[in-house]
Amino acid sequence: MSPVGEGVPLTWEQPRVGAQVAVRVPASSANLGPGFDSVGIALGVWDECVVTVVEEPGVVVEVHGEGAGAVPLDETHLVVQALTQVFARIGLERPAGLLLDCRNSVPHSRGLGSSATAIVTGALAGAALGCPQVTAFADGDDAVRDAILEVVNEVASAMEGHPDNASASVYGGATVSVMTPELMTTRLPLHADLAVLVCVPSARLSTALARSVLPDSVPLAVAAQSTARGALLVHALTHDPGALLAGTVDVLHQEQRRPSYPAAMALVDRLRARGHAATISGAGPSVLVLTTTGALDGARAVAQESAGWDVIAPGVPSAGCAVDTVVH
């Protein structure tokens, strides 16, 4: 369920040969400090994919940009896996013949939600192929869009195992999600002056490795402090950016993973010492800075004092994944 929208009844039909959809999905940053596995924010870096149902059985995947030459080009590709999961969810057979043309801009293994972006891409493409009402989605019908996005969010969050990245990529803006056990996602009305800076290194870090060093339990006092900081984070994002520095303090995961990304933590330390609300982006090693439009250049200057970082201000898209074209 999702309070994002009440949704409408959706109908599903088996796609014919020649059916085609073009979708795009934004990157995301998760955690934002204390919002571990629950808070995410969309970033204005996009993956695009065109999926076509073809007569010849089999799956053909073409990848351009990020991941080219490194990701699988068969049914194990994340976009294909997610598309398959959606067809199972809506009770249809996945088309036997598929051609995928993926054009990726989201960096891989950098803590910018590339796996969630791919999963949302496949889930949205599958839903768009199977739902005749998706034309209303593309034409701006909010009720149809919310109903389709609820399906996409459900499938993508289940595949990821945590909804923070997936929900932000689905809905755009910033989101808070829980899976206990029902999935609930709500969008945060971001403060008009909020701005983001992302520092992307050349180094990579797998999410599995980053999670492997985390403890299974924490003391009650640590959990209580994390809860308080998470509440302050939401307040800072929505009402008072002046509280961002205090609201992004983390006690659950960043220090524990410092040995996994020492350069990233050194940059976080330097930015925070200069008054900028820096955190590790997702599992790292990218660094996210939550700031204001007036302080953005100052944060950028501090970040650029260190070599080896691609410093960008991608913005936060107010809407998430989108269906650009559809042919049924």
More confident residue, 140 or 184: 184
Q: Phi-psi region for residue 172, left (φ > 0), alpha (ψ -120 to 50) or beta? A: left
**Is the predicted pLDDT of residue 2 greater than 80, yes or no?**
no
For the whole prediction, is pTM greater than 0.75? yes
Domain range summary for the chain, segments of one domain joined by +: 20-188+316-327, 194-312
Per the CB < 8 A criterion, the answer to whether 11 and 133 are in contact is yes
**Is the predicted pLDDT of residue 253 greater than 90, yes or no?**
no
* pLDDT above 90 coverage of the chain, percent: 80
3-state SS, residue 173: coil
> In whole angstroms, what is the distance from residue 169 CA to residue 175 CA?
9
First to last CA, the chain: 28
Per the CB < 8 A criterion, the answer to whether 316 and 293 are in contact is no
Per the CB < 8 A criterion, the answer to whether 26 and 196 are in contact is no
6-57 pLDDT, tens per residue? 458 899 999 999 999 999 999 999 999 999 999 999 999 999 999 999 999 9
Split at pLDDT 50, 70, 90, the class of 5 is very low
Tell me what the mean pLDDT of segment 270-297 comes to: 97
Split at pLDDT 50, 70, 90, the class of 139 is confident
User: Across the chain, what does the average pLDDT equal?
Assistant: 93
158-186 pLDDT, tens per residue? 999 999 999 999 999 999 999 878 899 99
> In whole angstroms, what is the distance from residue 241 CA to residue 50 CA?
38
Place of tokens 């059916």: 19
Q: Which CATH superfamily is domain 194-312 in?
A: GHMP kinase, C-terminal domain (3.30.70.890)
Q: What local confidence, expressed as pLDDT, does residue 3 receive?
A: 37
Q: What local confidence, expressed as pLDDT, does residue 210 receive?
A: 67
69-112 pLDDT, tens per residue? 999 999 999 999 999 999 999 999 999 999 999 999 999 999 99
**One CATH from 3.40.50.2000, 3.30.230.10, 3.20.19.10, 3.90.550.10 for 20-188+316-327:** 3.30.230.10
**Is the predicted pLDDT of residue 212 greater than 90, yes or no?**
no
- 299, two tokens: 């944060």
